[in-house]
Amino acid sequence: MGQKRQRSAKSGAAQTPKREESRNKKPHTLEWVAGGLSAAVILAMVGFILYHALNTTAIKPDLRVLVEQVEVTDDGFRVDFRAVNRGDATAAGVEIEGRIERDGETIETSRITIDYIPAHSRQRGGLLFSQDPDRYRLRLAAKGYTDP
Helix and strand counts by DSSP (H, E) for the chain = 2, 6
Residue 38's SS3 state is: helix
What is the pLDDT, as a whole number, of residue 59?
80
Per the confidence metrics, is the pTM higher than 0.75?
Answer: no
What is the pLDDT, as a whole number, of residue 127?
97
DSSP-derived secondary structure letter, 61: -
CA pair distance 47, 88, nearest whole angstrom: 19
Q: To which H or E segment does residue 97 belong?
A: strand 91-102
What is the pLDDT, as a whole number, of residue 18?
60
The list of the chain residues with pLDDT below 50 reads 9, 13
8 Å CB contact between 91 and 61: yes
CA pair distance 17, 142, nearest whole angstrom: 75
